[in-house]
Structure formats: C-alpha cells, structure tokens
Structure 1
Amino acid sequence: MRNDWRVRAKAVALTAATALTAAAVLGGAAAPKASAATAVSVTVNGTAGLGTIPSGAVGLNTAVYDSNMNDTPIPGLLKAAGINALRYPGGSYSDIYNWQTNVAQGGYDAPNTSFANFMGTAQAAAASPIITVNYGTGTPALAASWVQNANVTNKYGISYWEVGNEVYGNGTYGANWETDAHCQTSSGTPVTVGSEPSQTYGCGPAVYANNVLSYMSAMKAASANAHVCAVLTTPGGWPDNVTNPQTSPLPWNQTVLTALGSKTDCVIVHYYPGGSGAAGMLTDTSDISGITSTLHSEISQYAKVDPATVPILVTETNSNVDMDTQPNALFAADMYMTWLENGVANVDWWDEHNGPGTNPPSVVDGAQDYGDYGIFSSGGNNSGVTEPAVETPFGPYYGIEMLSKLGGPGDTMVNSTSSNALVRVHAVRRAGGNLDLLIDNEDPGNPYTVNLAYNGFTPAGSPTVFTFANNGNSITSATQSSASSVTVAPYTLTVVQVPGSGGGGVTAPGAPGQPTVSGLSSSTSGNSSGIATLTWPAATPGTYPVADYQVYQQSSGGGSTLVGTTSATTLNLSGLTIGAGYTYDVVAVDSHGNPSLPSPPVTFTVPPPADASCAVHYAISSSWSGGFGAGITVTNRAATAVNGWTLTYSWPDSGEAVQSGWNGTWSQSGSAVTVASAAWNGTIAAAGGSVSVGFNGTDTGQDPAPTVFSLNGTVCANN
C-alpha cells in the first residue's frame, strides 16, 4: 500500500481486526424532513478558562508522494482556513524517507516534494513545520543533519521533531505496516542497541526507547531548542494495553516513558476513531478527555515528570466515515477544539491530498462522498465516479475553516455546556473583548433554537453569525440583533461572534499566567485533610492597576465557584479530599472592577498521606486488548501486626472491572473494589511486613491506576 499514494499507507487504524478495512465508507441514510426548531440551552462560563489556543495548533499532513503538495493555490487555501502547522514527509513514508536525497526507499517520491519545496509552501502559508525523522531505515546522524540544516543553516526554527511514525506497527504486536530495520534478523539474533543489548528479541518498545535517547542526544546537539518527540500508543486504541512476552512484556507506553524518564520531551499519538456510521463517529470525541487524562497520568507515573511540561501532539487524525461530506466537517471542528481544550499542543488532519478510496463511493445525505482522506480533491476516479477539479475543498476543509472564525493563537478557550448532546459547543474569548461560540448541530434532521446564557461575560452589541450549511461549498455570514439566541439548521456548523463589554477606551488587565501547585499533601487526620498552594505569574495591568485576583474552582459540569480573592499571586487551599481531582484558574480584577480573561487551568489530584501506617504498590503486570493484569502489594508500617485485613479502592475509569483475583476474596460493586484476606494470609507483620494480591481485569481501552487504597478503613500511602 505504501507505493500507492491514493490509498493512504497509514490507513491501518486503531484495532487489529479492522486494520485493513478502516477505509470503508458507510453512506449516511437520508435525513428525515426537518421539524420545527426545538429549544436548547447553552451556557458559556467566561471565568472557566481551558487555556489559550497554541501557536501552530491547527495542522495538516503533507506527503512526498503527493504531486499536488506544493501547487500554487495551496498556501492561500491553507491561510484562508487558518491552518497554521504542516507535518512532513508523510505518515509511514517517514520511516523510509531520506531527506538529503529526497528518496523514499521502496516508495514513490513525486516531483517538487523535497524538504526545500515543502518549506517554500510552509513559509508562504505561515505554517509551522512538524517533521517526522526517519526511524525505520534512518540513523541519529541523518536526523541530526536535518535539524542542523533546518534550524542552524536555514534558521527555520522548527520546534517539533518526531522520531518515527507509528513504530508500534513494526510487527511487535503482529500487525506489520511500519518499516523498521531495528527488528530481529530472520535467524532470531538478539538486537543490540548502542552499548546495551536488548532484553528481548525483536524490535519492541524497549529497543525503540533506547534508540529515541540516541536520536534525542544527536538532534539536540544540533539544536538545543528542538523538541524531540516519542511515539506513544493512543490510550484505548490498538495496540494500547497489548503485550508480547518476547518483545514487549509491558505495555508500549509504560516501557517507553520509563526508559525516557526525565528526558521525556514531547509525545505523539494518532487518533482514528471508527464508528459504524456517522452518528457513532460523531460521539467519539467524548473519549478525548479520557485519552489525555490517561496520557498525563502515564507521563507522571512512568516518566516521573510533571505532565504539564510535556507537550502532546496528535500528528494524524481523521474519521473513517463519510470522509468528504458534512458528517466529517462536523467531526473535524468538534474534534480539533476538544483536543485543544484538553491541553494538546497540535492536531494534524490526514491529509492534504489523498485520492479516492478503494471502496465504491457513496452518497451521504444527497452529497457525493469519495472515500478520500484529503481535504482537497486530487481529481481522481474510482468505480466510475470522478472527483471534482484538483484543489476543490471537501467538507472537512470548511469544518476546519470555521475554527478561524472562532479563535486564533493566544485566544482563551472557556467552558461551555449544552443541554442537548447532539448540539456540541465550544467557546473562545478574544483579547479584544468578544466571546465567540461554535455550535455543532450533529442532528441530520432537526433544527434547534439555541438559547444563550453567559457567566462572567456581558454581551454589548450585535453578533455576527457564520454558517457552514449542510452540503455547502462556502461559509456565509450575517448580522443579527440578538445575543441571547440563534437558530441552527440540521447538520450545520455555526460560529456566533458576540461583542463584549469594556468599551470607552478602558483596557482590562491581561490574563494571569499559568498557575502551578506546590505543597500538595494530606495527613492522617481525615479524608478532607488535603492542602496545596497555588501560585501564578502576575497579570499585566490595563488602564488601571490590578487590585485583586479571583481564584475559581471548576466543576465537571462546566460551572465554577469562587474559592478565594487575594491581592497576592498565591493562595493556600485546604479541606481537599484525598484522591479527588481539582481544577482551578485565576482572574485578575483591576481597581475599577474590570476583570481579565481567565488564566490557563491547573489540574491536580490530592495524594494520600505519605506518613500513613500502611503503603500500597500497584503495578500493571500484563495487558491485552480488552483486559489487563495487575499486582498489589500492601505493606504494614505500623508497630503492631495486622490480623485480618480488608483492602478497598475504586476504579477511576468506569470501564475497569475485576474479572478474577487471587490471594484474597475479591468483590466489586459499581466502581468500588473490596479484597478480603484469605485464611492463610490474614496476618501482616509489623514494621514492614507485606502481603501481595493480584487480579485479571477487563477494560474498555483505558486502565488508569486507582488513586486511593484503604486498609481496614485507613487510607494508605502510595508506594
């Protein structure tokens, strides 16, 4: 497949069973006749910050086998859509491509697709490059020479460099689409990497991680400011949670992050949700918060670094359903914003041009779909259906372009909620005072009257409304008088730009900087003994000096509660619940009561007391698709023995469950798990005695570790 650019080499998706059928296109059923508009309530919380939109956040893949990659219209089309990052040289081709010779070993390189050609387009489009260096057949020296050429010789200042594409697809887990010359020889000879022999045969995550360290050393020697990114598996997607006793005895992410440790610089995941149809595909974005939460947890647990310091990039994404039509436009807009709201640095659509798919094209709600992963037509033909002229945008292009109406780099994302799951919303506060709202009506048959309510924001003028209609080929705009409601048609994307108060020449303070947490701890005095100190960089004064800072605690339902006001840039928190997660942000208020935009949020979990009389060590010992095994060791730190014990904890993810356990009597009710001692291990000796239990469990893709364990009702320390 690598030799045919019309069928993207990467189309191996997130489950082994669907690896070769992921490109199947399912036509949508004809939409029912639209009914009268139903009311939907949307609330925007202007004080609940979700962070600023990063520079280079809205990205797109390019590929050296695409002869249209650098066509003359491309830079203008990219700028018009607000696409400000470009990934090169293209998926699995990255692992066979030599940037110096512009040759992909065993593949096809189209004319005028060299690195210099690519950079011409990237610079003309004002897009930040993201480069995937050749791990499969390359060397650290080849990668370092690329960094040297780009950032030293030509001073391009490229920040993000991936080490390989989907390296886990090198046969480690059975599926083999990614070229990897580090794999074992046909005779099964162990691979030696650097000066250390691999502990396994083959090319599993331990070999990859050791090589990433070599690449990192060479590339950072060429340019210290280069972020060298490691490939991880996407939590919940194949081959996450899969192990191979010979080459990957522990999960990929655990192995890679443990090996990289404090050198973890940035990480890469890919995201190709499936879905059996448009409705299922459009709900997949609800998994993104869990994916990012799991990645942050893994970075903290295994690399043992602050996950806030490790950028996450989603360098490939698309759906596998109705790729060129309205459902995928809806998906694109919602998907980009959901990732960004959850703190990722960059999201890159696959891809610029791809060509029609191998399955017969379908008609989706009256519009022709070509099974083409590109955002632009390549003019190809499949099954007698010819695509429109080259560079004609498909639906997802306009879905991405709608984001440019919503916000841009440096603007502040804020929380918004909808009373109807089919009406998805995202909100951005602009530095100039506007509040912009994206409304994604994923109902193919019903319009809605969206009633708008605002917290921490006061509308002050007539909104401008941008619309991308179902099966449209452009974005339209209009002005309306009301800022309290807007009607959205079926299967449409709408951006409402609402002018805000604060005129009269008064400039509000700048947003406070990213808060950090210190002194996070708890004690044995009680379940709500957690304490922490928040500290944040001061806000820049506007017309008037900054008088106070308001600290808000965000709730899971989109609301926020003012928990403290201070003139300092620090606030002590107390009464926090052990094991609970908390999110806070800060708003500056000047001497005349004008509030700033909210700071980026900080999120943390309160740990159990370090001096508890017991300690628990929890570790996953094996994993596979749909399940995992783990061991738990309980240590008695007290001066007296424990005679008869019960261990309790709760799963953080609703999909986790105990299937069978040993060395104790296991039971589960809801998410709560109880393990009672067996007749032969009920005594835990004093001052360091321990007992171990284990289990096999099931999951729905993600299995984060429990945060709190209790022994006979006493909270234990994490060990």
Structure 2
Amino acid sequence: MNENRVGDGNPVILYVYDVKFIEEIPGYVCPEEFWGAFESDAPDLQLHDFATEQDRNWETSTGPKSSGSFEFVEAAPEESEGYSIKISYSLHDWVDIIYNYRDNNSPAEHRDWTNHWGLKFDVYTERAFQPFNVQVNDSGNELWIATAGAEKGWTEVIVAFRDFYKFPHWQPPDAVHTGNFDIENVIALDFKPSGEGTSAQFKVHNVRLTNDREARRAPVPEYVAVNVTGSFDEVVTEQINEGIFGINAALWDGDLLLPETVEYVKAVNHHVLRYPGGLRADDDNWKEVLAAQDWMVDTDQFLEFCRATNTEAMITVNFGSGTVEDAADWVRHHNVENDDNVRYWEVGNELYGDWHPFQTTAEDYGKRTREFIIAMKEVDPTIKVTFVGVLDGEWNRIVLEHVKDVADGINVHHYPQTTGEENDAGLLSSPQTLDDIIPSVRRQLAEWGEPGREYEIWLTEWNSVDFEPGPQTLSIVNGLFVADYLGMLAKHNIEQASYWDIHNDITDQGGDYGYLSRTGAPDGCNVPRPSYWAFKMASHSLGRGSLLNSGTESDYVTSYLTYDNGKKSLMLVNKYPQTRADVTINIPGFEGRGTKQVLTAESGQPGPEKGNFRVRQGTELALPPYSITTITLD
C-alpha cells in the first residue's frame, strides 16, 4: 500500500510526458463570447424586496478585525417604495452580508439565473462614492465576485454576469471547480463592502435579475460650475510635515542608481526614502548584501543615493530572519562608524500578514521588538524607532503592551483596494477616508499607549491596490489619487508617509506600482507615469508651509490652498471622468501673477502643460475632466 510513499524530507520527482498545445479547454466557456452572444427576452425577476420574513434571513460574516451589521428600513428611490437592507460596516479585512438560497429553500426560479444577463438593484449612499463587491456561490458552490459601486444618493446598478471572476483568495472546501460561472442553481448572494480602513453605511433596494444592459443614469453634463473659496486667516495645518512626501526605494532595484533615476527623484523634492523595501526587509541580511558587492543596492549605496537626491534615509531592520545584534550593528555602521545620521528606523515589515514568510503573533512581535528597540537605542539614543501596526485591531493593543515605553511611534500601511477589485470612482473617493483612518490610529495610540507619551504615525507604504496591480496604476486615475491623497496627508499632518514605490515591475495584470518604469518595461526605462507627475506637482504646490482652509461645494473637485515662505499656491483635482469643472476662484488674498500647470490623461511623458496665469477675485478657470491643476503665485 505504501510502496510509492516518499519519506519525510526527501524530494519528490515528477515525470511529465506528452505535453501538447490544444485549441480549446474541454468544458470551458469563454465569458466574453458567451455573454456577448447571449439573448433573452425574459422580464426582470425580483429576488429580494426585503418585505417578508423569509426574505430577511440574511447573515453576517466578518474577519477578526472588522464589524458588520444590517437592518431593514423603509427606503426607496423616488419612483419606488418599500424596504431596503441597510448595511453598516467597519472594514479592516472583510465583511460579508449573505443570503443563502439553498438554506432558505428559495423557489427554483430564484436560483436559476440562466435566462438573465445580470443583477440589477438600487443603492443609496451619502458618500461621494460607495465601492462594494457582489459575490455569488454558484451551482457548484464555487465563489465568484464582481466589482461595483454607487454614487451619492440613489443609483441604479447593473452587475453583468460576464464581469464575475473566480474569487482568488478562498474557496469553500466542497466547491466543485469547473472554472465556469454555473448559475442554473445558485446557492448564495453576498454584498461585500470595499475600502480598507473605512466605516460607512449604504442601502440596497429591490434586487432583481435583468436583461437590461445599461443602468438608468442621469445625462452626463458637459460641464459643472464650481465655486472655490478659502481664507488665509483659517489655518488647517500650521507647518506641513516634510516627511509626508516620502517614497520607498528597494535593494533589488537595479535601476535605482542610474543618473536618470537620481534626477527624477531629486526633482520631486522628497524628504525621506525608505529602504530596503517591503517583505525583503525581513529576508535579506544587510551585512551580506554589503559584502557581496553585486547587482543589489547595498546600504552604503542607498545612503549615497539619499545624498544625491537631497533626502534622508529610513531603514527597516530585519525582524524575520535577522537578529537584535544585526539591527544594532546596522545603527552602529551608519551613526557611529560613519557620520550618516540615519534618524528613522522600523522593526520589520507587515509581520502580521499570512502572506509574510516570517508571519508571527502580536505577542511574539511585541516581546522581540522591545529587545530590538532597546539594543538599537543603546547604540544611538537619538534615533526614532517605530513598530509594525495595523490600521485598527487587537494587534496594536498587544504590541503596545510590550513597547509603549520604548517605541517612538507606529508604522502602518494603507492600500484602499484589493487586487482584482479596482474601481476608478472608488479609488478617487478613498483619500477622504483618511478623515476616519488617521484619527482612529491616533485614538488607539492614546488608549493603549503610555499616558502622556507622544507617538508618531508613519504611513510607510501607500498606493492604490494591495497586490498584483492592474492597468489603473498606470493611468491618470492613479495620478489623481496620488495628488488628492497627499493633500489629505497635509491636512492630517502625520509625521511620515512613503509612497510605494520608485521602481517596481509590470505585473501579469498589466500594472506597475513604480512611478518610474524599469528596464524591460514596454515603454523603456525611467519613463515617468502619471503618478510621478502628480506626486511632483503636489509636492511643489503643497510645499512645506501652512495648509489653509479652502473648499468647493462638489464632492468631485477638491482644493488645497497653501502658503509657504511668501509663496501662495492652489491645487485643484477634478475627479469627474467626463465633465469639465468651470471653477470660479473666490479666495481673498489669492491674487496676482504666477504659473499654472495642468495634468490630464493626454499630457503623456512630457508631464503637465505649463503656462503663465493671472488670478483676480472671481477669476474663472476650466478644469478638464480627470485633471490636476496647480496655480502658484509669484
């Protein structure tokens, strides 16, 4: 019985024979072809009106760091009436609001979706945009998901069946894996809020099957009139922390030391560069990399790069495979043996995550990190050292029990979208979620930290999506997100923030985190992406002075007014995808001659269009759709 068993620790040898290319995958149905040719005149079929007891047997499932609930309320669009399900959530991993057709003995017509093209329902939100996902357990209990969202007020939403893809992160143990979205006997429907770190509510009304191809929409206006107001007497942030304009640099970036990279990075006016980059920080030994003198960027080369770009270094020491002694030696190398004066240090990177090869518990991390910090500060008491935290959760409380009297702050990461679930409107609404996220982190430090001790907040990684970025990262949408996010960071004025990153790689999904392209990219090396130009524009417009009160009456046009050592600047972000914003500037004291820069999707590699501009009270200005505009007065 066991003659083919391989002993523990021994390698397994596999033989592959008769490999062939085939024209078709047996049993596979191409969604684009199938749904492109699909025809049906079946009328809409209501699945949920939330009026009966059976139709209220929904369930909640949440991750350990999230909370979610639902209730049924009388609410409907103007032309309708009846009940809606009101979903409330605080999202830090996942929240699911589920209806199980099989368990509720739903009629066959409610489970057979094969005569329809998609799902249709109405959503109400008070946010500028509410992103969410629709998830379905198909006939074989395979889990499928599609991205959706709704604008402020009531919105009719249609989610086409062709837009569902197999959920990549988990599948039920009893799922029958056919690779096809089998909907002749659907098991469950699930509404999943999106947007890490957000807390919100939205309502869903009148869920039905439909053959409509387009949701009802108000006509898209060619332009909207927007009034921009502000006051130099109302200070939001007295002194913008220069640390918020940081970025990540990686030891595996073979293009980092190129002269063109130096010039591009220097031109942005960053303040801090974080090294050695992501999960590799807990894998590579800095001494071995320094001794190897190979293609990797060692710690001394990184410091040279910092000097060449007029930036300071932030270093993440190796918690995963490293030792306390290695970390202390790293501080000694730069701050005692050499006069590098590296002030900013972190202990490890994302050790809480199941994607991390050295994942550990909060208890273990807290105990060991205390040892790291004490040893590092014995070498140089002037350095600042932060611990790995999460946006919200018990991890922070447990770690702080061990390090609250020795740590200088917390470092957290924020990627508002989950891979495969990118949504342009959802991403563009995410910078404003910092209004909830940053105060929440501050409350946790105040509640669980040492009384009277001031802790810094370092947001040492941020970008649009957590893994496997898609084409959105290369688009103007990511650029708008970057500029708006930096404006919000200036508002909340945490001590450090580091964008991810200078260079990365084109993924199989067609995206790239890097704001500059790397060697091997289709467009060549060191080609600036829209995110680069947006970062540079925001860095120079926001400056390092004061952020003043300004605003518009539109959720889709944001404004940031600053005063920096005599320089007055205004940054405007138009998040309307197809609508021009005709703004009128009514800011007392914001008058004179200066320069205007405008970044649009058409700007391309040369970057924003530049020109002279004069501002008077009541000056009118047209902001193109999806654009960033900065005005800096002489």
The answer to whether the Cα contact below 8 Å between 1:65 and 1:110 also exists between their aligned partners in 2 is no
What are the within-5 Å matches in structure 2 for residues 277-292 of structure 1?
277-292=423-438
* Aligned-pair CA distance for 1:82: 2.0
> Which residue of structure 2 aligns with residue 391 of structure 1?
526
Query: More displaced, 48-57 or 285-294?
Result: 48-57
> Which residue of structure 2 aligns with residue 470 of structure 1?
601
The answer to whether the Cα contact below 8 Å between 1:34 and 1:447 also exists between their aligned partners in 2 is no
**Residue among 287, 303, 308 paired with 1:124:** 308
What are the within-5 Å matches in structure 2 for residues 158-557 of structure 1?
158-169=342-353, 175-180=354-359, 203-235=360-392, 241=393, 251-274=394-417, 276-306=422-452, 309-320=454-465, 322-359=472-509, 361=510, 371-380=511-520, 387-409=522-544, 411-432=545-566, 434-454=567-587, 457-472=588-603, 473=605, 474-483=607-616, 484-485=618-619, 486-498=621-633
> Which residue of structure 2 aligns with residue 59 of structure 1?
246
The answer to whether the Cα contact below 8 Å between 2:244 and 2:489 also exists between their aligned partners in 1 is no
3-state SS of 1:69 partner: coil
- Whichever residue aligns with residue 270 of structure 1, its letter is H
* Aligned-pair CA distance for 1:99: 0.8
Runs (5+) with no aligned partner, structure 1: 1-12, 22-31, 170-174, 181-202, 236-240, 242-250, 362-370, 381-385, 500-719
3-state SS of 1:100 partner: helix
3-state SS of 1:253 partner: helix
1:417-451 deviations in Å (ceiling 9; x for gaps):
2211111112211121x321110111110111112
1:141-164 deviations in Å (ceiling 9; x for gaps):
111111111122222221210000
- Whichever residue aligns with residue 595 of structure 2, its letter is T
CA RMSD of aligned residues (A): 2.6
3-state SS of 1:355 partner: coil
Task: Flag the 1:16–1:135 CA change in 2: closer, same or farther, 3 A.
Answer: farther
> Which residue of structure 2 aligns with residue 139 of structure 1?
323
C-alpha distance in 1, partners of 2:275/2:219? Answer: 44
- Whichever residue aligns with residue 358 of structure 2, its letter is T
The answer to whether the Cα contact below 8 Å between 1:333 and 1:399 also exists between their aligned partners in 2 is yes
Equivalenced residue count is 413
3-state SS of 2:381 partner: coil
C-alpha distance in 2, partners of 1:98/1:268? Answer: 21
3-state SS of 2:259 partner: coil
1:593-634 deviations in Å (ceiling 9; x for gaps):
xxxxxxxxxxxxxxxxxxxxxxxxxxxxxxxxxxxxxxxxxx
The answer to whether the Cα contact below 8 Å between 2:408 and 2:456 also exists between their aligned partners in 1 is yes
TM-score normalised to the size of structure 2? 0.62
3-state SS of 2:555 partner: coil
* Aligned-pair CA distance for 1:337: 2.1
* Aligned-pair CA distance for 1:35: 5.5
C-alpha distance in 1, partners of 2:585/2:451? Answer: 41
The answer to whether the Cα contact below 8 Å between 1:75 and 1:122 also exists between their aligned partners in 2 is no
Query: More displaced, 331-340 or 475-484?
Result: 475-484
- Whichever residue aligns with residue 219 of structure 1, its letter is M
C-alpha distance in 1, partners of 2:424/2:378? Answer: 47
- Whichever residue aligns with residue 469 of structure 1, its letter is T
- Whichever residue aligns with residue 444 of structure 1, its letter is P
1:577-603 deviations in Å (ceiling 9; x for gaps):
xxxxxxxxxxxxxxxxxxxxxxxxxxx
Task: Flag the 1:212–1:443 CA change in 2: closer, same or farther, 3 A.
Answer: same
* Aligned-pair CA distance for 1:14: 6.6
Pair 1:39 & 2:184 matched: no
What are the within-5 Å matches in structure 2 for residues 13-28 of structure 1?
15=93
1:292-314 deviations in Å (ceiling 9; x for gaps):
1111111111113447x311111
> Which residue of structure 2 aligns with residue 569 of structure 1?
none
* Aligned-pair CA distance for 1:15: 3.8
* Aligned-pair CA distance for 1:459: 3.0
1:392-437 deviations in Å (ceiling 9; x for gaps):
111100110111331333x1112222211111112211121x3211
C-alpha distance in 1, partners of 2:525/2:397? Answer: 44
- Whichever residue aligns with residue 516 of structure 2, its letter is F
Runs (5+) with no aligned partner, structure 2: 1-90, 96-166, 171-217
TM-score normalised to the size of structure 1? 0.55
3-state SS of 2:405 partner: helix
> Which residue of structure 2 aligns with residue 681 of structure 1?
none
The answer to whether the Cα contact below 8 Å between 1:84 and 1:125 also exists between their aligned partners in 2 is no
> Which residue of structure 2 aligns with residue 716 of structure 1?
none
Q: Percent sequence identity over matched residues?
A: 25
Task: Flag the 1:418–1:282 CA change in 2: closer, same or farther, 3 A.
Answer: same
Task: Flag the 1:215–1:257 CA change in 2: closer, same or farther, 3 A.
Answer: same
- Whichever residue aligns with residue 512 of structure 2, its letter is D
